[in-house]
């Protein structure tokens, strides 16, 4: 059965995007492996760090990867896969430094914004809220969620 993330993944010509590692084409394979994983062992060596993003910034492949991540976050993922994808998304959103890339990445995140609000309410509150700080266009909605989730944020800060 095809899912939204699978369709989004298949739409991309991954070979057209260079990774930070210097290779091409494998970011899509790593994404699929992470999304399908039910355990850390199933993730294995698949990692988006150093391919989609690293300490130096974000590569062009981050744009289509963001679309796949946002589609996958709509799914019932294993906690290990969700955590990996959220960390990658956080690194992408906070690591995008050029306006042209922001204009491509941020709208993709906004397309799935309710997945981030759900994550904020039920999962990794801090990471999700920090991403939302960068991409949310509705400051009143963001403020309402911050207020409603204050106790979750306070508990995590301790």
Confidence of residue 55 (pLDDT cuts 50, 70, 90): confident
pLDDT of residue 156: 60
- Return the bridge partners of 58, or none: 53
Alpha-carbon span 154 to 17, nearest angstrom: 40
Q: Where are the alpha helices (DSSP H) in 50-148?
A: 62-72, 79-95, 99-111, 113-122, 125-135, 139-148
Instruction: Give per-residue pLDDT as tens, 78-93.
Output: 999 999 999 999 999 9
In this predicted model, what pLDDT tens digit does every residue of 99-118 receive, in sequence order? 888 999 999 999 999 999 99
Give the tens place of pLDDT for each residue, 21-31: 888 889 999 99
| Whether 53 contacts 59, CB under 8 Å | yes
What is the per-residue pLDDT across 132-154, written as a single tens digit (0 to 9) for each?
999 999 999 999 999 999 888 77
Q: Which residue from 62, 91, 86, 54 is spatially nearest to 72, judged by alpha carbons?
A: 86
Residue 157 confidence (pLDDT): 57
**40-52: pLDDT as tens digits:** 999 999 999 988 8
């Amino acid at each position: 059965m095809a899912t939204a993330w699978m369709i989004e993944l298949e739409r991309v010509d991954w070979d057209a995007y260079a990774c930070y590692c210097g290779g091409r084409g494998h970011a899509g394979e790593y994404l699929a492996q992470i999304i399908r994983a039910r355990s850390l062992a199933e993730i294995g060596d698949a990692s988006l760090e150093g391919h989609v993003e690293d300490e130096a910034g974000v590569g062009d492949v981050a744009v289509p990867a963001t679309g796949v991540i946002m589609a996958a976050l709509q799914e019932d993922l294993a906690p290990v896969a969700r955590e990996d994808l959220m960390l990658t998304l956080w690194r992408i959103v906070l690591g995008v430094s050029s306006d042209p890339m922001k204009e491509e990445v941020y709208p993709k995140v906004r397309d799935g914004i309710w997945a981030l609000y759900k994550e904020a309410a039920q999962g990794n509150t801090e990471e999700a809220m920090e991403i939302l700080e960068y991409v949310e266009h509705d400051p009143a909605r963001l403020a309402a969620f911050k207020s409603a989730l204050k106790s979750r944020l306070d508990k995590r800060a301790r």
